[in-house]
């Protein structure tokens, strides 16, 4: 997907007025494939910079879904430059690279600057789903979202319960095997 393709796709889906979902860093694409199959009235954009993940996803994608999904193989921040405000109904970011060393924390995808860029593209009443198995990263995300005036965290009662919109992935199963907990956030945009 390049700049011209992005604009063409955005124009097509705007006319149809469907539910539009963005999944950032979809890995092998288990969650994305499941949602494409489950939510037949939705359109999707998947952003994954790694060729192995894209290949796995494409191998599992049925031809009948081609018109409802576009893939972007680059840094999501480039894609977001082309996305209008209040565009996505749902945004999903599962287990982004935690960059665990303190000197690398600024590289984390979900930091205060990037969260604002991402939230800008979410519609009012839209939901953003995130997950991590790194406690430090979870609390960093939580703090960043709590500072936003235009969003609320809707799963404050239970950060361990997996939201229904998120499918089990191989990575989640791996987390269970090594006895790590996954932490989930569901964020609702309440103001434009």
Question: Phi/psi class of residue 153: alpha, beta or left (left: φ > 0; alpha: ψ in -120 to 50)?
Answer: beta
Active-site pick, 74, 75, 81, 97: 97
How far is Cα 36 from Cα 176, in angstroms, rounded to an integer?
Answer: 25
Determine the Cα–Cα distance for residues 137 and 131; give it in Å rounded to an integer.
Answer: 10
Give the contacts of 12 (CB within 8 A, at least 6 positions apart). none
81 Cβ contact list (under 8 Å, min separation 6): none
Q: What distance in Å separates the CA atoms of residue 10 and residue 79, rounded to the nearest whole number? A: 12
Say whether 85 is catalytic.
no
The CA distance from 4 to 94, in Å, is: 28
Cite the active site residues. Answer: 97
């Amino acid at each position: 997907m390049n700049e011209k393709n992005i604009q063409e796709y955005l124009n097509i889906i705007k006319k149809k007025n469907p539910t539009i979902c963005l999944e950032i860093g979809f890995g092998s694409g288990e969650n994305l494939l499941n949602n494409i199959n489950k939510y037949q009235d939705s359109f999707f954009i998947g952003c994954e910079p790694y060729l192995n993940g894209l290949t796995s996803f494409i191998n599992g994608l049925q031809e009948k879904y081609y018109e409802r999904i576009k893939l972007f193989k680059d840094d999501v921040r480039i894609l977001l430059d082309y996305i209008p405000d209040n565009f996505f109904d749902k945004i999903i970011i599962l287990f982004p690279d935690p960059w665990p060393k303190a000197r690398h924390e600024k590289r984390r995808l979900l930091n205060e600057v990037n969260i604002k860029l991402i939230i800008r593209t979410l519609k009012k009443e839209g939901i953003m789903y995130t997950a991590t198995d790194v406690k430090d990263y979870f609390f960093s995300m939580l703090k960043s979202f709590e500072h936003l005036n235009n969003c609320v965290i809707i799963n404050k009662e239970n950060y361990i319960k997996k939201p229904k919109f998120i499918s089990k992935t191989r990575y989640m199963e791996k987390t269970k095997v090594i006895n790590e907990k996954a932490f989930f956030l569901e964020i609702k945009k309440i103001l434009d």
